[in-house]
Amino acid sequence: MAVLWPTARGFAARLIRWHKRHGRHDLPWQNTTDPYRVWLSEIMLQQTQVATVIPYYLRFLERFPQLADLAAAPVEEVMALWSGLGYYARARNLHAAARAVITQHGGKFPRDPAVIAQLPGIGRSTANSIATFCFGAHAPILDGNVKRVLCRAFGIEGFPGSGAVEKRLWTLAAELMPVRHGAIHNQAQMDLGAMVCTRGKPRCEACPLAEICVARATGRTAELPQARPRREIPLRHATLLVMQHGKRVLLETRPPAGIWGGLLSLPELPAGADAQEWAERHFACRVIGVTCPRSGVPGTQSEPAPARCVPLGTFEHVFSHFRLNIAPLLLQVTPVPAVMEPGRQWQDLAGIESAALPAPIRRILEQLKPVQAGAQ
């Protein structure tokens, strides 16, 4: 027989009562059992705030109202709609999973959590959420909000992302599942973590678990859950070439794997390469009458750049596992008549809002638009 933690008594009942009065009930992906819509929201909400997700979710459904519409679309269009939301592997996996549902499951979303979890980009917690909310499955979930609630309520030590702690949390989450109202219970845990048991400044006075919470009783609310062990985040450098011809810039599609996979980006200049020579050799263009400084560590001194080959300002972008120091370099070029290689294109600056660009690249190109507004 499974053994519950001492504070488990009444856990689900407290949450369900609280959710009825104080939980979220009118989010765009609620009040539906359509697995496509629930799945889409679950993927978008991974490491992303609700307020950020809502407009993307609505635009996505306007363009792809059904799973079959998503599966039939080219991945480039999916990436363009996802542009700015970050963690772009989610979009690639979403598209791949939609196609898998069509080809492997006859267009019907699987009902079994174990089968759902086999689709690209869907883990155990997401699969259980879909199965619970759409098909009435009796399955626990364990997203970031739920982990925080459980760690505080039950005083669980250790970083919740570690294997041993996560295994313990899965066991606890399964033990806490009520016989009835499993979907409400799961939603209540997420809502509590998002609205009350927040990472910073939790509102313990409004929490339905306050009387049984170990963290509150022991004065450890600020310490639990324990943070990821600190490690040095490496700093990398990249010089990006902004090759401009009139009102257009040259972009290329990033490889599917790695950062910004599948999105359009600016070409990266190899360290130590001469910008003019490298651009002309690789991109069938002629740099107009200038010799550009060599690339190197951004922020170091170099020869003053001519007026038509200018740095656009170095800035830093932080990824989950490293920091990237980005040094964009503007080159005025004239294309040489040639067949454009696959994956490369000239993008009109007026259309960058709808292009599949990472946020840092969009930030760079936005600098050029005011200049173009006054161009003759």
Crossing angle for the helix pair 163-176 and 144-154, nearest 10 degrees? 80
Let me know whether 192 and 165 are in one domain: yes
Let me know whether 188 and 79 are in one domain: yes
| Amino acid identity at 345 | Q
Residue 59 to residue 70: CA distance in whole angstroms: 13
Tokens representing residue 319 in the block: 């990824």
List residues bridging with 327 in a β-sheet. 239
Instruction: Say whether pLDDT at 166 is over 70.
Output: yes
Is residue 182 included in any domain, yes or no? yes
Q: What is the CATH number of the domain that holds 355?
A: 3.90.79.10
Higher pLDDT, 85 or 371: 85
Of the listed ranges 5-14, 22-31, 49-58, 168-177, the least confidently predicted one is 5-14
What's the rounded mean pLDDT across residues 94-119?
97
Sign of the dihedral defined by the CA atoms of residues 34, 38, 39, 41, in that order: positive
Is residue 225 included in any domain, yes or no? no
Q: Indicate the residue among 190, 217, 244 that finishes a domain.
A: 217
Give the tens place of pLDDT for each residue, 189-234. Answer: 999 999 999 999 999 999 999 999 999 999 999 999 999 888 888 9
Residue 335 is predicted with a pLDDT of 84
Cβ neighbour number for residue 248 with a 10 Å cutoff: 17
Let me know whether 81 and 183 are in one domain: yes
Tell me what percent of the residues of the chain surpass a pLDDT of 90: 72
Let me know whether 148 and 243 are in one domain: no
Cβ neighbour number for residue 279 with a 10 Å cutoff: 24
Let me know whether 19 and 79 are in one domain: yes
Residue 294 is predicted with a pLDDT of 54
Is residue 226 included in any domain, yes or no? no
Of the listed ranges 280-284, 290-294, 310-314, the least confidently predicted one is 290-294
Domain count, the chain: 2
Let me know whether 20 and 50 are in one domain: yes
What's the rounded mean pLDDT across residues 273-298?
74
Q: Indicate the residue among 169, 184, 217 that finishes a domain.
A: 217
Of the listed ranges 149-163, 230-244, 288-302, 349-363, the least confidently predicted one is 288-302
Instruction: Say whether pLDDT at 57 is over 60.
Output: yes
Q: Is 225 helix (H, G, I), strand (E, B) or coil?
A: coil
Sign of the dihedral defined by the CA atoms of residues 170, 176, 182, 188, in that order: negative
Tell me which residue has tokens 């196609």: 99
Is residue 222 included in any domain, yes or no? no
Q: Indicate the residue among 217, 245, 272 that finishes a domain.
A: 217
What's the rounded mean pLDDT across residues 139-162?
96
Contact partners, residue 142, CB within 8 Å, separation at least 6:
124, 125, 166, 169, 170, 173
Of the listed ranges 27-41, 60-74, 357-371, the least confidently predicted one is 357-371
- List the domain range (segments joined by +) for residue 41: 8-217
Q: Which whole-number Å values give the CA distances from 76 to 88, 250, 356, in the listed order?
A: 12, 17, 7
Give the tens place of pLDDT for each residue, 311-359. Answer: 888 999 988 788 999 999 999 998 877 777 888 999 999 888 888 999 9
| pTM over 0.85, yes/no | no
Let me know whether 210 and 244 are in one domain: no
> How far from the centroid of its chain's Cα atoms is residue 193's Cα?
19
Is residue 1 included in any domain, yes or no? no
| Amino acid identity at 25 | H
Let me know whether 199 and 289 are in one domain: no
Q: What is the DSSP letter of 157?
A: -
Residue 287 to residue 331: CA distance in whole angstroms: 7
Is residue 223 included in any domain, yes or no? no
What's the rounded mean pLDDT across residues 103-131?
97
Let me know whether 261 and 142 are in one domain: no
Is residue 103 included in any domain, yes or no? yes
Kindly list the catalytic residues: 42
Residue 307 is predicted with a pLDDT of 45
Residue 374 is predicted with a pLDDT of 42
- Label residue 373 by pLDDT band (50, 70, 90): very low
Q: What is the CATH number of the domain that holds 17?
A: 1.10.340.30
Residue 330 to residue 24: CA distance in whole angstroms: 48
Higher pLDDT, 308 or 172: 172
C-alpha triplet 43, 46, 47: angle, nearest 5°: 155
Let me know whether 239 and 213 are in one domain: no
Tokens representing residue 281 in the block: 């050799």
Let me know whether 362 and 260 are in one domain: yes
Let me know whether 252 and 199 are in one domain: no
Tell me which residue has tokens 């609310």: 221
* Mean pLDDT value across the chain: 89
Is residue 224 included in any domain, yes or no? no
